Amino acid sequence: MSFLEVDKVSKRFGGLLAVSDASFTVAEGSITGLIGPNGAGKTTLFAIVSGFEPPTSGQVRWRGQPITGRPPHVLAGAGIARTFQIVQPFAGLSVRENIAVGAFLRHRRRADALEVAEQVAARVGLSAELDKPAAALTVAGRKRVELAKALATAPQLLLLDEVLAGLNPSEVRDIVPVVRAIRDSGVTVLMIEHVMQAVMNLCEAVHVLAQGRIIASGTPAEVVAAPAVIEAYLGHGAAARLARHA
Amino acid sequence: MTPRDLLPILAFAALAALVPILVTAGTTLNFAIFTLILCLAAQGWNILGGYGGQYSFGHAAFFGTGAYAAALLQLKLGISPYGAFATGIAAAATVGFVIGFLSFRSGLRGSYFALVTLAFAEVFRVLANAVEFTGGAAGLLIPIDVRPANFQFASRASFYLVALGLVVVALVMTRALERARLGAQLVAVRENEQAARALGVDVLRVKLSAITLSAGITGAAGALYAQYFLYIDSNIAYGSWISVEALLAPIIGGAGTLFGPIVGAVLLHSLAEFTKSLVGRIPGVDLVIFGVLLILVVRFPPRDLPGLIRRRLGR
């Protein structure tokens, strides 16, 4: 029984097959990467796993139980939290209140939720910004708020949709240990990421999605060497040309 | 909720309770009672619109249901006015739940939700005007029988204090909501529905709780109106005037703030009375002023007046 199992999932938007027969698993306690060229269907796949979109066909199983098509708030309650690629702050609220919304999922009392929010803020390095309005933060700060909100729901599986996109190299270096610490605290992480330096650094397993299909799975070192992956990124015949020049 | 959270409400109650001691003129008290009824209606709107961001243009549906239920139960079934009052609140809350269920479940938001609520209120108005049971166009007259046991008071001051008591109850409920999980989730839904769902907020349940509570409070205002003026017809109870009043006061005073509806209602009505006395009794002059104010507020949103004043004074 897998921790999370995506089984032959397809998603069709009208004439566009965004995800085609995608199957992969995520092991408990791992940091698993989902990479692929733009438009490969990664975010759609995330939306399906987190309940925001129902798949056209196929199934998602969570600890052996089918969870396909359950609404997001039910899945959040079950322990699956997600972040959004385009950050979705509660713009009019302070950082503390933003994080507390997540904490309210497991804590009925306001005092408890606010306390959890402070603890989570410390984990992602936001302690100094707690009382600022979320809208006043930098991109890096907003990405951390996005992470903190999801983390405050006390998830078992955290789906990170490009938390590093738009950050400069030093900001990426700062946040990589945060993600690792989250995993070390017992939260399994599935991350969509374009920043390969971080993927190579963080992930134990990587699945590569191209044109809606999973074209390779394995360790980061394995997949970047796989001809299918090179061709997906660089075009048909690229793998052979690279091999000739090497 | 801590005692400190209730302090501003207590201060407001104490100040407002002084009014009937300082003022004895019947017209002024009449004006104050009417303003309190509008405060209550606006406080109801504020919960759904201010905290929840679901702008209803049809709170008349709840105001009118409260008013008609309170009047009809006394007149047709001989229920005690207090029982009728409580049932009026329950009836308005039920109507709120049903309208909420129909519109939120179909995912109506923003202007679509506003239009649907407006349509519901209009349907109720037309029905109340046409059906014999509700007195049709002639309306309903509650017979004068001045006894406290009958929810009718000889002195305006007593009624003023009853109205003030209800406004204070609504304020305490709003403060409790602010401090509760439901309040935090409601504000989250207003700020970003998608993000709220991702964080485990059952958006439909939160919206339904808010509209039920909101409708109940505005329904209380309607029932109180019927009990004070002892006369309602469809254009009073379900008329669009009350929908406009209920939303304009919080928007001007500060939507989603505790005292916003009260600041707004008092401001609007002082202004309306002032213009009326200035330009004489041209019917509808206050509505022209309201219209101009609404345009100005939409064009230059003031956030909230207390906040603005605090910023001006320099923190």
Q: What is the pLDDT of residue B304?
A: 54
Distances in whole angstroms, Cα of residue B315 to Cα of each of A56, A137, B71, B308, B311 = 55, 21, 49, 11, 6
Q: What is the pLDDT of residue A32?
A: 95
Contacts of A94 in chain B (CB under 8 A): none
**Number of cross-chain residue pairs from A and B with Cβ atoms under 8 Å apart:** 79
Burial grade of B97 (CB within 10 A; 0-12, 13-18, 19 or more): middle
**pLDDT, tens only, A91-126:** 889 999 999 999 999 999 999 999 999 999 999 999
Residue A195 backbone phi and psi in degrees, to 5? -75, 100
Share of chain A above pLDDT 90, in %: 73
**Sheet of A205-210, strands arranged across:** A80-82, A157-161, A188-192, A31-35, A205-210, A213-218
To which CATH superfamily is domain A4-245 assigned? P-loop containing nucleotide triphosphate hydrolases (3.40.50.300)
Q: How many Å lie between the alpha carbon of B255 and the closest alpha carbon of chain A? A: 13
Q: What is the pLDDT of residue B302?
A: 60
Number of Cβ within 10 Å of residue B9's Cβ equals 19
Residues A26-37, mean pLDDT to the nearest whole number: 93
Say yes or no for a CB contact (<8 Å) between B202 and A104.
no
Closest CB to B199: pick one of A91, A105, A108.
A105
Q: Compute the half-sphere exposure of residue B156: CA atoms within 13 Å on the CB side of its CA.
A: 17
Q: What is the pLDDT of residue B70?
A: 96
d(CA A35, CA A24): 13
Q: What is the pLDDT of residue A73?
A: 96
A150 touches chain B (CB under 8 A): yes
Shortest CA distance to B194 belongs to which of A51, A69, A40, A197?
A: A51
Residue of chain A whose Cα is closest to the Cα of B206: A73
Say yes or no for a CB contact (<8 Å) between B200 and A77.
yes
Q: What is the pLDDT of residue A195?
A: 84
Return the structure tokens found at B184.
Answer: 């935090």
B144 touches chain A (CB under 8 A): no
**pLDDT, tens only, A233-245:** 888 888 888 888 8
Closest CB to B187: pick one of A82, A93, A109.
A93
B175 touches chain A (CB under 8 A): no
Residues in chain B where the model's pLDDT stays below 50: 315
Q: What is the pLDDT of residue B301?
A: 66
Contacts of B181 in chain A (CB under 8 A): 104, 108-110, 113
Return the structure tokens found at A36.
Answer: 């692929």
Residue of chain A whose Cα is closest to the Cα of B176: A110
B198 touches chain A (CB under 8 A): yes
Residues A215-227, mean pLDDT to the nearest whole number: 90
The domain spans of chain A are 4-245
Q: What is the pLDDT of residue B268?
A: 86
Cβ atoms A90, A98 nearer than 8 A: yes
Mean of all residue pLDDT scores within chain A: 92
Instruction: Name A61's bridge partners.
Output: A5, A66
Mean of all residue pLDDT scores within chain B: 90
A24 touches chain B (CB under 8 A): no
Of all helices (H) and strands (E), which one includes residue A170?
helix A169-184
Relative to beta strand A188-192, strand A157-161 is: parallel
Contacts of residue A230, Cβ cutoff 8 Å, sequence gap at least 6 = A224, A238, A239, A242
- How wide is the angle at C-alpha B249 spanned by C-alphas B247 and B252, nearest 5°? 105
B197 touches chain A (CB under 8 A): yes
B202, B205, B211, B212: CA torsion to nearest 10: -150
A89 touches chain B (CB under 8 A): yes
Closest CB to B195: pick one of A71, A90, A110.
A90
**pLDDT, tens only, B4-20:** 889 999 999 999 999 88
Closest CB to B195: pick one of A88, A97, A105.
A88
Closest CB to A88: pick one of B187, B192, B202.
B192
Q: What is the pLDDT of residue B315?
A: 42
Contacts of A97 in chain B (CB under 8 A): 184, 187
Q: How many Å lie between the alpha carbon of B201 and the closest alpha carbon of chain A? A: 5
- Quote ipTM for the complex: 0.90
d(CA A57, CA A72): 18
Q: What is the pLDDT of residue B137?
A: 87
Contacts of A83 in chain B (CB under 8 A): 198
Q: What is the pLDDT of residue B87?
A: 96
Going by the DSSP 8-state scheme, the letter that residue A133 receives in this structure is: B
Q: How many Å lie between the alpha carbon of B52 and the closest alpha carbon of chain A? A: 13
In the 3-class helix/strand/coil scheme, how is chain B assigned residue by residue?
A: CCHHHHHHHHHHHHHHHCHHHHCCCHHHHHHHHHHHHHHHHHHHHHHHHHHCCCCCCCCHHHHHHHHHHHHHHHHHHCCCHHHHHHHHHHHHHHHHHHHHHHHHHCCCCHHHHHHHHHHHHHHHHHHHHHCCCCCHHHCEECCCCCCHHHCCCCCHHHHHHHHHHHHHHHHHHHHHHHHCHHHHHHHHHHHCHHHHHHCCCCHHHHHHHHHHHHHHHHHHHHHHHHHHHCEECHHHHCCHHHHHHHHHHHHHHCCCCCCHHHHHHHHHHHHHHHHHHHHCCCCCHHHHHHHHHHHHHHHCCCCCHHHHHHHHCCC
